[in-house]
Amino acid sequence: MAGNSEPLSPRAKLAVTAGKAAAAVSRAAGRGSGSVIGGRVALKLDPDLLAALATHLDVVLVSATNGKTTTTRLLAEALRAAGPVVSNALGANMPAGITSALAGGSDARFGVIEVDEKYLAGVARDVNPKAIALLNLSRDQLDRAAETRMLAEKWREGLAGTEAIVIANADDPLITWAASSCPTVVWVAAGQEWKDDAWSCPSCGGVLQRPSEDWFCGECGFRRPIPTWALSGDHVVDPYGAAWPIRLQLPGRANKSNAAVSAAAAAAFGVEPKVALERMYAVQAVAGRYDVVSFLGRDIRLLLAKNPAGWLETFSLIDGPPAPVLLSVNARGADGTDTSWLWDVDYTRLSGHPIFVVGDRKLDLAVRLEVAGLQFRVCADVDEAVRNAPAGRIEAIANYTAFQDLRRRVGN
């Protein structure tokens, strides 16, 4: 194993041990997995630890506004065909969580790492990745996050000249802008339903023209690159024109898109699309997302949607009317404290569904749905909503902390 050929320095070893001890204390105190606190302690003792841990691995980084946890999981499954994988599978995607995850995988050959958008350039510098997969960028938590276009600009600067193979979604103009400073890019036509963060050219500010699937700037000529991989319906088309069926247990177009990017990334590590895609079928749920649980005698499917682009993709995968829909929105720190984004979501798509509304910010949702002309019922809690829902599997859509609350309540 590569991991044994160059042992960690004594300082790095000490840092790993101290980090694990801190994580154990945190776990014992009932404060979650402890991976973040462990990573923090370890990085404090050895700031170069992340780089040291990564030198023994072939690393691929995954970043995006939406789909990074799922894609990390799909890609990890695919690469397991070629060797042991270490991954921050639970979504702890800032440097401390990443350090902690890597410290736990001494036998691994591959590191499949989800990275928070804000940290991508820094982590890419530290771990010298072999590949970087970039899926999409759209508005998210604007009360605390950087502007979406600025994020693309930072990626562009931070990744310029990277030695990594960059696998990038050619259908997202912001991703294209971010990746086009990289020397080696594999463009994937992975699609993107949400278009409202890329009407102006990331290069010159001109108005982007978007005839059917193409896009280009009429003023400066910045345009959609020619993809070598493509998502085409239920298939991934590889650079040789071969179409490979995508069979996933995960629902929705967005996950097919995640699988297409994962297949292209796996190919960069020598894993053939057929093998990669077959392995992705094993993924059933990702950190509770897409799980179907039984609660109060009812089936509930748990769906996470954190921002307008995520809600749009989620609406397209739920069962049609009259499937009951439960919506839950919070606005705690991790969600972003501004709920204005609810108005960028087209809730008229839920027309015909019986709708039940819960969560800290149910009144914001109530006004939103009222203005959309929908019928809905505001409930005190999940139990009341489930008890009142008409027959059928309940599609429960929640944003970040609301999703955690929901999982806790239904015992997932």
Q: What six digits make up the tokens of 279?
A: 């392995």
223 binds another protein (CB under 8 A): no
134-153 binders of another protein (CB under 8 A)? 139, 142-144, 147-150
Q: What angle do CA 262, 264, 268 make, to 5 degrees?
A: 110
282 binds another protein (CB under 8 A): no
Take residue 60 and report the two structure tokens written for it.
Answer: 């691929």
Cβ of residue 342: shortest distance to another protein, in angstroms? 7
Q: Are strands 235-237 and 229-232 parallel, antiparallel or unpaired?
A: antiparallel
Cβ nearer to another protein, comparing 211 with 373: 373
At 400 the three-state DSSP class reads: helix
Binding-residue total with another protein (CB under 8 A) = 31
Q: Is residue 182 helix, strand or coil?
A: coil
Site for another protein in 327-356 (CB under 8 A): 337-344
**Contact present, 68 and 306 (Cβ < 8 Å):** no
Q: Provide, rounded to whole angstroms, the least separation between the CB of residue 220 and another protein.
A: 13
> Does the protein bind another protein through residue 285 (CB under 8 A)?
no
> Least separation, in Å, of the C-beta of 371 and another protein?
5
- 75: β partners: none
With contact defined as beta carbons under 8 Å apart, do 17 and 66 qualify?
A: no
296 binds another protein (CB under 8 A): no
- In the complex, the smallest distance separating the C-beta of residue 369 from another protein, rounded to whole angstroms, is 8
| Cβ closest to another protein, residue 147 vs residue 299 | 147
**In angstroms, what is the minimal distance from the CB of 372 to another protein?**
8
- Beta-carbon neighbour count of residue 144 at 10 Å? 12
Specify the residue, 177 or 269, whose C-beta has the smaller distance to another protein. Answer: 177
For residue 299, give the DSSP letter. Answer: E
Min separation Cβ 338 and another protein, Å: 5
Cα–chain center distance at 341: 19
**Min dist. Cβ of residue 173 to another protein (A):** 12
Q: Please list every residue from 190 through 209 that binds another protein, using CB under 8 A.
A: 196-197, 199-200, 205, 207
Residue whose CB is less far from another protein, 144 or 408:
144
Give backbone dihedrals phi and psi of 346, rounded to 5 degrees, phi first.
Answer: -85, 90
Residues 6+ apart with CB under 8 A from 219: 201, 204, 206, 207
- In the window 365-384, what residues touch another protein (CB under 8 A)? 366-368, 370-373
CA gap 401, 346 in Å, rounded: 22
Residues lying near another protein in the complex (CB under 8 A): 139, 142-144, 147-150, 196-197, 199-200, 205, 207, 337-344, 363-364, 366-368, 370-373
